[in-house]
Structure 1
Amino acid sequence: MELAEAAVKCLLVKLVSLLKKEYHLQKGVRGQIVFLTKELKGMQDVLEELSEKPAGSVTPFQKRWARSLKELSYDIEDSVDAFMLRVDGGDAHANPRNLTGFSRFIDRMGLIGNIKSVKVAKVRRRIAKELEDITTRVKEVAAWKGRLTIPGATAQPHTKANVDTGIHLLLEDVHKHRHSPVGIDGPAQRLASLLTTHREGLQQNLMVVSIVGLGGVGKTTLAKALYESLETQFQCKAFIPVSLRPDKKSIFKRILRQVRPAARGNNNDGEKDVDELIRDIRKYLSDKRYFIVIDDVWDEEIWKLFEYALVDNSCGSRVIVTTRNFRVAKLCATPVAGALFELEPLSNADSKRLFYKRVFGKDGGNHNQLDEIAGRILKKCGGVPLAIITTASLLASKPKSINEWYRVYRSLGSGLEKDNTDIKRMHDILSLSYYELPSYLRPCLLYLSLFPEDCRIDKDSLVRRWVAEGLVVDEQGGGNLYELYDRGEKYFIELVNRSFIQPLDIDGVDGIPNACSVHDLILDLLISLSVEDNFGLRLDSQNFTTSTDSEVNIRRLSLQDNEVEVSVPETVDLSHVRSVIAFGDAFNWAPPLSRFKFLRALDLEGFPRKNNHPKELRRLHHLRYLQLRGYLQKEVLEEIGNLQHLKMLDLSHAYVSQLPVSITRLRNLQSLLVGSDVKMPQGIGSLSKLEEMSWIEVEPNTAAELGKLTEMRVLCVHGLGYDEAGDQAFLQSLSNLRNLLGLFITESEMCSLDDLPDPGQAPVGLRFFRGTETTFQQMPRWFSWLSELSGLTITVNNLTQDDIDMLGALPELRLLQLEVAENGTIAQEQLSIGSDKLFQSLEAFKFKHCARCWLVLSQGVMTRLQKLELYFEVRKRDDGAIDVGLENLTSLKHVTVEVDCYGANIRQVEDVETKLRDALDAHPKNPTLELSRVATHCMERDEHSSGRHQSFGRPADDDDYSDNDSDASK
């Protein structure tokens, strides 16, 4: 239903646009389009009602009707796009004979004055026939509505998404080991004891421990916890996911790169075959104590290759293998020192604890009135953590009432009966939560079925694809890329909160994940749903398979990286494919691009390849999103300039030194992403629709042209401070960017932003400013105009009390990372944050400095602050005082303190840490404290332990010494 609903919404937007624009349509044609719009709106209402029905209650007939409507909508949209493309002049190579019916009749009616050679009567008869064919199909589908008998339903209002702290608490527990993940503490202790037995012995055999259990029972979580707790005891290590259809060469390349990290990027591993890679691994591990986790091994054959690579060198090495297959588990476990560990489903107590923790938050608590129904729900989850978390995530977003929980319980059906397979059980549970998703989220989640197993999926790239394919619907038809991206990012966060995708690389400033992965079981579910709904086709095996319905068109094509070439037969119609994504070397055997007539999104690793020529790019007239990775020929870059309707171009992961002038012809381009070492051509200012641009080097000509891009919302630049003329041109341009919402600056020398021609002309709507790897002379004074600034990351050379007061007065500032450069200065030793309602919106604050200075927080400040990060240099606080007023931060939940130990002895360091703990113990909110030490190798010995003062490193009175070890920059 959700796919049909999305397709109809996109089509309606285009039909409305067609009516509004000046296409000189004759009255009869305009009337027919109005008719189509009216009919489709009626069917959209029906789809919305179907989407609100409980899972499993939609009849097969209703599903068939929705699929027919979806395919019809796609076909009409393709025709409308072809027509609008010709009228707008974007298809210079188009032949009218190649246009589809709907576009042809509109083309001939709308441009009839230009067709001198065809008699009007003949044209009108042909138009009438083609129009009749389209309207007949619409009427047939519309007529089915009367047989659907759908009870009324009310759509749920769309609400703003916020990152769910519950899932982050679970993730932090696993990552930082403050607490063991629910249910694995016992198994983890037993396995840790087994793995570390006799580790001090000189002659130790290789030990292989296999962890076996049901998919989703927590094998990977347990293995990851063991890996992170024991990895420091080994000389080299690797954590390798395998998956169902592994790429052997890629796997052994990853092993070699992880166990031998120093050689990464400086070898020819990519040119070696599997046997050569295995020999290299054996040679390198021959005298090393290593620890390797091989996650999710499905068959015996792949394990035999691993076994050959693992050297039993009597150094006490350890290997963990996780698998769902008992035969594989028995084969892996070494007979002498190893073990087979069967990970059982969670106990009733642990299931309940995990369930309540996910539904109600960190503590879970007692909920006696819900215990009975919760027990019934948990019984159906069978102790499988993934099923428990998924079901609990569903309930977390619903009223905490017995009636609502019983409704969900009844919807579960009999998915966990004994006569079903394990995967079927899991699919039943996960399918329920899938169909309980809002209809706008389901197509976005289904899109993840196109990605390989164990794939790291970049958030920004994913959201842009959603936007390009119309999965984030532009209901207003305004085409504002930033607003659509913002909405798509909220969709992403919602999917994280509902535990459908696993967040990766969580941003330390705003807490939003920069990437995600998909659990294998959820991916299996999405693939099956994708096939059922004809959403997309994965070419990941030697068998070409698609939906069982041969009458539907292929809409999306994912080319998986395989050892064996997989080709699409010439007989298969690819003209309606909207999206092609190729991973690794898969594009080597991709069909020619000329077979993709209506392609909207294209993502490739390298171009051209065997079946494709650069000139084929120019025929992709409907292309809206293009991402190219790897090495690109100059001819390819030149051809990109012919894609007149391209909106998003991502070359950030491509090897490109300079963009050609032809790029400046992309007048519809809204997003341009390149690497930081790419030179821009002259004339970049002609791309007047650009809303997003990164990473642009600040040099005079390019910087001057930025001022012409008045639609710019997000700008990422580098190279400030190297050229005074370039800096001045950039500041002049900055004053023209009145729509700018995000400014990101990196890899720049010491620079100043204070020389705006007129501070009143600053981009006053700016919401985010982030400066990384860059030091600014001082806090720009025009920041005081930024009444909408929400996030600020900045390092300054000079900091004053006036700067603190200015920032504190910003009404919307929620996230602040403020650092004073290592050799910078602070005007006074004490910076005060007074009680005159400063920082009233601030939620997270990080303050780092190397001067002899400290913050003093007055009562009533930072009333919303929940997370505080501080840097404490022990030797510069003679009395070790830490009385900064932490008790005045009434909403504080978490404090992180980085203790610089250089020049201090252990007693001083421990005294500071004790005082910090005491201060937070006395805090009314009892916030958590996370302490870390840096420069510990430069601590002084205590007199009683060495007989004299002696530092580990340079003398303690050397104030100019700066410790640059990597831990000090966290």
Structure 2
Amino acid sequence: MELAAAALGSLLPKLSTLLSDEYKLQKGVRGEIRFLQAEMESMQAALNRASKLPAHQIDELNKIWVRDLKELVYDVEDSVDAFKVRVDNDPEHAKAHSFRRFFDRTIGLLTKAKSRHHIADDIQDIKRRIDEVSKRKERYNSLGVGVPQPDTVDIDPRMPSLYQDAAKLVGIDGPTQKLIDLLTRVEGVKKQKLRVVSIVGVGGLGKTTIANSVYERLRGQFESHAFVSVSLKPDMKQILSSILRQVSKDKCTNAGEKDRDELLRSIRDFLVNKRYLIVIDDVWNVEAWEIIKCALIDKNVGSRVIVTTRKMDVAKFSSMDGELYELDPLSEKDSRRLLCKRIFNEDVGIHSDLEEVTMKILKKCGGIPLAIITIASMLASMPRTKYEWYGVHNSMGSGLETDKTLDKMRNILHLSYSELPFYLKPCLLYLSMFPEDFEIRINDLVRLWLAEGFIYGKQGSNLYDIGEKYFNELVNRSMIQLVEINEFGVAKTCRVHDMILDLIISLSTQENFAIILDGSHLKSTMHSIRRISLHDKVDGNREDSKEEQIILPTTVSISHARSLVVLGNAVQLMPPLSWFSVLRVLCLKNVPSKVIHPKDLGSLHHLRYLELGGEVEPGLLEGIGNLKLLKTLNLKLLKTFNLWGPSIEELPTSIVELQGLEHLLMDKRKLTGLKLPDGIGNLTSLQELSGLDVNNSPSTLTELGKLTELRTLALKGLGENESYMKTFLQSLSNLGNLRTLEFYSSTGTISLDNMSDQWRGPVHLQSFNGGVSTFFALPRWFSSLSELSCLFIRVNVLRQVDLQLLGALPVLRILYLQAASRGVTEERLAIGGDQSFRSLAKFRFMHYSSCWLVFGPGAMPKLQSFGLYLEAQKTASGGIDVGWENLTSLKHVTVTVDCDGARARKVEDVETRIRDVVGSHPNHPTLELSRVSEQFMT
């Protein structure tokens, strides 16, 4: 239902655009579009109202109605897009001689007239279909078919967690003790203060079980205690009544008669001067916590509260002093033990015949106890044969919607999906397009959402920024896992847990959102398929498996597909591009382009996102100028060197016609980049230009200044060419919207000293990565970058004044600072508590001298991660202990010891001293200690 509402959110602005003077529609057609707009707005209101109902209260007739509406909305949007493409792509403005211009204008006028006739016909057909859908619903409602079923009271699917046999629980001792330590091991004045600790993690991870285990172990130490579950749609009066009854030990008999404010006052009155322990389980939103918190009086008697949640923002908001516990999945060892205990009622080994399939089942479960327990209950009732167990493994990937034994697990995971706002649901379902364990680049994922129209906002807002917020919200809700984190601490790739993936594949199939093709027979009841993902067939587990080809039922059409994602060898399953008429996304990852005809690619007029990977024929992109709606051209994985044949070396001149292009992405780490044609300054909508090689495209440096919407720029090849740098700086001064600037080099270290003190950087810059580029000293203009949050910089000379300048940057969170030469001017540089580095959370310091940083009281108050690169030969053991204890938020330390020229004993002494210093820190941070150049020790 929410998917239909999301689709309408994308369509309605387009209908408004059609009514503008730009399209010069006839009066009758404009009236029809206004009717259509009003009808769609009414649909959106009805769908938004219905979406607030629990899923079990929506009968089958209404589900069919919603499905038909969604398909109708898709078709309306396709029709509107087709009209705009036909009108906007006419040759009216061709720049040829006068006769040619007259001829093209005449053709253009005829094309527009024909297009307006098409849109009028389409609207009439759509009106007829709207009428049919409405009448069908009314016709069967009148027979009583659609009468809602009586409401039922759902049993909280997490309740069994409260009654698990402790003897059968595996892997909870460590988390239980960790949580107890967070609650009890508090020193000084904080010991008597009210302490709130949050447990956060995905559904099924055991948060409720662990919270209950701690509650049972500690409740006897408190005068009053309570355990309440909040759930997705909380009844706050009932929750507060339950707290009052429990803490009063049922002495308050009229709790059910009180209103919310009276309940809050009663709880506070009862808890005055009492030491209490309360568990608030399964909190879904900050608003619910805010209400409950009003009852938690603090009289400095050592009270404790535990909050469990799936959402990081709730965990952070509810935790006092930032105390939260991110619950990890079970280890492989504990996962095996739990499986065995549930199947055999004892901790025994798995028979060798079942070892391989057991590992695959446990991998699928991903350390989630609920998944392991659920699967174990299935296996316990089956013959212990390889064939039967593989059947269970296969059902985990495709049978989630039909296997009754998996219902409990599905219900718990489904709670998280049901609670998502409507605009996040299609974004999450889109991840079903990628296979198990596939790491997706986050930036690419947001661009794919943009191409599909999932992201929309108020006029003037940046949709990419909104898309990043969507992504962060899904991470905070534990629906997406972060995988790769770069040196700046910025997440680069993500994936979804296998069990979440199975859920969204099931939902995606039910909603006709997308289908996955892997060489198997396609089963679909829908006429039009909207999204297709082609995977390598990896299901070789069953002994009777055979390679098959895709068989499309004759009733199924892929012409209305909006996305086609092809991964690797699955290209052999790829249908011809000529079959697709409204394709918005073409994502070919490591797919050779020989299967694509340049004419077919150039005819995809609806395309918004094009990603090409692998070997590409030189002429493939010649027709790219026809793709007027293209927003992203992703060539990062393109193979520009082909040992066995011709390869692509430059982009065609027609690319400069793509005035709507927003993201041009090339490989920024290859030795030689693609050559860009003259005229790149015409791409005035460009927001991101990555992998620009100025050696290949020097004229681009001049035209950069015309790209005033540019937000991200990553370039290489400046080298020591002073004229290049001068031209670049002149252009850079015009880029007032620039947020990220990165330099790369294929020729070693380069100097950035032309960016000297008289020059001024972009004032809105948020991230600067100099790479291997070096400043002689820190330029003064860095002090004007009040929005800078990430900085990677190398300097030859590091001075006390430089640290003062960097420390004054108000939102600097991540700093990589390298003193590249032996020219550090002072042996000790002080960082004090004078509000310097007040936002810094991650700091890496690399130096090649005997210089040390001295941390005074109050230094870097938010620093959690500190990294150090040092030369053992130049390090005095007494110089290591330089105030690390003043880093009051420190959690993790990474030290790399350069052994070059040092004796082995000297290296060992330095490492021992480092361990002693870190070990004596009051926070007991973790330590990662490593060596480089060990072969050069003397």
Q: Do residues 661 (structure 1) and 653 (structure 2) align?
A: yes
Please give the secondary structure, in 2, of the residue aligned with 1:627.
Answer: strand
- CA 1:445 to 1:879, structure 2 compared with 1: closer, same or farther past 3 Å? closer
Superposed displacement of residue 608, structure 1:
4.5
- CA 1:606 to 1:128, structure 2 compared with 1: closer, same or farther past 3 Å? closer
Q: Within 2, Cα distance between the matches of 1:894 and 1:842?
A: 14
Q: After superposition, what is the alpha-carbon deviation per residue over 1:286-345, rounded to whole angstroms, capped at 9, x for unaligned?
A: xxxxxxxxxx9xxxxxxxxxxxxxxxxxxxxxxxxxxx995349999xxxxxxxxxx99x
Superposed displacement of residue 690, structure 1:
0.6
Choose which of 452, 456, 460 in structure 2 pairs with 1:474: 456
Please give the secondary structure, in 2, of the residue aligned with 1:505.
Answer: coil
Superposed displacement of residue 501, structure 1:
3.6
Q: State how 1:211-226 maps to structure 2 within 5 Å.
A: 213=358, 217=362
Q: After superposition, what is the alpha-carbon deviation per residue over 1:468-508, rounded to whole angstroms, capped at 9, x for unaligned?
A: 1012x212254x6xx33333333334434444344322223
**Aligned-pair identity (%):** 45
Q: After superposition, what is the alpha-carbon deviation per residue over 1:813-866, rounded to whole angstroms, capped at 9, x for unaligned?
A: 111111122x35212222222333211111111111111101012222322212
Q: Within 1, Cα distance between the matches of 2:48 and 2:439?
A: 33
Equivalent residue number for residue 859 of structure 1: 857
Superposed displacement of residue 434, structure 1:
2.2
Which amino acid in structure 1 is aligned with residue 414 of structure 2?
Answer: S
Q: After superposition, what is the alpha-carbon deviation per residue over 1:103-135, rounded to whole angstroms, capped at 9, x for unaligned?
A: xxxxxxx989975x99x9x99997995575366
- CA 1:885 to 1:608, structure 2 compared with 1: closer, same or farther past 3 Å? closer
Gaps of 5+ in 2: 94-107, 152-232, 235-283, 288-309, 342-351, 369-374, 376-381, 538-546, 641-648
Q: State how 1:379-778 maps to structure 2 within 5 Å.
A: 422-471=405-454, 473-478=455-460, 483-512=462-491, 514-546=492-524, 548=525, 550=526, 552-562=527-537, 564-566=548-550, 568=552, 572-604=556-588, 605-606=590-591, 608-610=593-595, 612-656=596-640, 657-676=649-668, 677-699=673-695, 700-747=698-745, 749-756=748-755, 759=758, 761-778=760-777
Superposed displacement of residue 186, structure 1:
7.1
Please give the secondary structure, in 1, of the residue aligned with 2:622.
Answer: helix
Equivalent residue number for residue 131 of structure 2: 136
Equivalent residue number for residue 312 of structure 1: none
Q: State how 1:941-952 maps to structure 2 within 5 Å.
A: 951=938
Q: Is the 8 A contact 1:752 1:780 kept in 2?
A: no
Q: Within 2, Cα distance between the matches of 1:634 and 1:437?
A: 45
Q: After superposition, what is the alpha-carbon deviation per residue over 1:253-275, rounded to whole angstroms, capped at 9, x for unaligned?
A: xxxxxxxxxxxxxxxxxxxxxxx
Superposed displacement of residue 82, structure 1:
1.6
Q: State how 1:136-215 maps to structure 2 within 5 Å.
A: 136=131, 183=334, 210=355, 213=358
Q: After superposition, what is the alpha-carbon deviation per residue over 1:234-254, rounded to whole angstroms, capped at 9, x for unaligned?
A: xxxxxxxxxxxxxxxxxxxxx
Superposed displacement of residue 805, structure 1:
1.6
Q: Within 1, Cα distance between the matches of 2:700 and 2:120?
A: 55
- CA 1:187 to 1:594, structure 2 compared with 1: closer, same or farther past 3 Å? closer
Which amino acid in structure 2 is aligned with residue 426 of structure 1?
Answer: M
Equivalent residue number for residue 74 of structure 1: 74
Normalising by structure 1, we get a TM-score of: 0.65
Q: Within 2, Cα distance between the matches of 1:114 and 1:10?
A: 24
Equivalent residue number for residue 785 of structure 2: 786
Q: Within 1, Cα distance between the matches of 2:336 and 2:828?
A: 45
Equivalent residue number for residue 252 of structure 1: none
- CA 1:424 to 1:533, structure 2 compared with 1: closer, same or farther past 3 Å? same
Superposed displacement of residue 747, structure 1:
2.1
Superposed displacement of residue 623, structure 1:
0.7
Q: After superposition, what is the alpha-carbon deviation per residue over 1:59-90, rounded to whole angstroms, capped at 9, x for unaligned?
A: 32332222122111111111111222233235
Q: After superposition, what is the alpha-carbon deviation per residue over 1:369-413, rounded to whole angstroms, capped at 9, x for unaligned?
A: xxxxxxxxxxxxxxxxx99xxxxxxxxxxxxxxxxxxxxxxxxxx
Q: Is the 8 A contact 2:521 2:551 kept in 1?
A: no
Equivalent residue number for residue 226 of structure 2: none
Normalising by structure 2, we get a TM-score of: 0.67
- CA 1:219 to 1:673, structure 2 compared with 1: closer, same or farther past 3 Å? closer
Equivalent residue number for residue 893 of structure 2: 895
Q: Within 1, Cα distance between the matches of 2:147 and 2:10?
A: 23
Q: Is the 8 A contact 1:9 1:475 kept in 2?
A: no
Q: Within 1, Cα distance between the matches of 2:64 and 2:801?
A: 67
Superposed displacement of residue 915, structure 1:
4.0
- CA 1:519 to 1:221, structure 2 compared with 1: closer, same or farther past 3 Å? closer
Which amino acid in structure 1 is aligned with residue 664 of structure 2?
Answer: L
Please give the secondary structure, in 1, of the residue aligned with 2:456.
Answer: coil
Q: Within 2, Cα distance between the matches of 1:629 and 1:65?
A: 41
Q: Is the 8 A contact 1:880 1:911 kept in 2?
A: no
- CA 1:722 to 1:917, structure 2 compared with 1: closer, same or farther past 3 Å? same
- CA 1:214 to 1:188, structure 2 compared with 1: closer, same or farther past 3 Å? closer
Which amino acid in structure 1 is aligned with residue 528 of structure 2?
Answer: N
Superposed displacement of residue 904, structure 1:
4.5
Which amino acid in structure 1 is aligned with residue 434 of structure 2?
Answer: F
Q: Within 2, Cα distance between the matches of 1:927 and 1:711?
A: 43
Q: Do residues 38 (structure 1) and 42 (structure 2) align?
A: no
Q: Is the 8 A contact 2:59 2:148 kept in 1?
A: no
Superposed displacement of residue 464, structure 1:
1.3
Superposed displacement of residue 160, structure 1:
11
- CA 1:221 to 1:446, structure 2 compared with 1: closer, same or farther past 3 Å? closer
Superposed displacement of residue 217, structure 1:
4.6
Q: Within 1, Cα distance between the matches of 2:585 and 2:627?
A: 12
- CA 1:906 to 1:668, structure 2 compared with 1: closer, same or farther past 3 Å? same
Please give the secondary structure, in 2, of the residue aligned with 1:603.
Answer: strand
- CA 1:772 to 1:221, structure 2 compared with 1: closer, same or farther past 3 Å? farther
Which amino acid in structure 2 is aligned with residue 66 of structure 1?
Answer: V
Q: Is the 8 A contact 1:17 1:477 kept in 2?
A: no
Which amino acid in structure 2 is aligned with residue 72 of structure 1?
Answer: L
Equivalent residue number for residue 815 of structure 2: 816
- CA 1:209 to 1:43, structure 2 compared with 1: closer, same or farther past 3 Å? closer
- CA 1:818 to 1:149, structure 2 compared with 1: closer, same or farther past 3 Å? farther
Please give the secondary structure, in 1, of the residue aligned with 2:819.
Answer: strand
Q: After superposition, what is the alpha-carbon deviation per residue over 1:666-686, rounded to whole angstroms, capped at 9, x for unaligned?
A: 111111111242121222121
- CA 1:171 to 1:658, structure 2 compared with 1: closer, same or farther past 3 Å? farther
Equivalent residue number for residue 338 of structure 1: none
Superposed displacement of residue 711, structure 1:
0.7
Q: After superposition, what is the alpha-carbon deviation per residue over 1:159-206, rounded to whole angstroms, capped at 9, x for unaligned?
A: 99879899x9999989xxxx967935979999xxxxxxxxxxxxxxxx
- CA 1:49 to 1:760, structure 2 compared with 1: closer, same or farther past 3 Å? farther
- CA 1:464 to 1:114, structure 2 compared with 1: closer, same or farther past 3 Å? closer
Over the residues paired in the alignment, what is the CA RMSD in angstroms? 4.5
Q: Is the 8 A contact 1:826 1:851 kept in 2?
A: yes
- CA 1:184 to 1:608, structure 2 compared with 1: closer, same or farther past 3 Å? closer
Please give the secondary structure, in 2, of the residue aligned with 1:929.
Answer: strand
Which amino acid in structure 2 is aligned with residue 820 of structure 1?
Answer: A
Of 553-562 and 925-934, more deviation after overlay is shown by 925-934
Q: Within 2, Cα distance between the matches of 1:488 and 1:623?
A: 19
- CA 1:455 to 1:928, structure 2 compared with 1: closer, same or farther past 3 Å? closer
Q: Is the 8 A contact 2:633 2:663 kept in 1?
A: yes
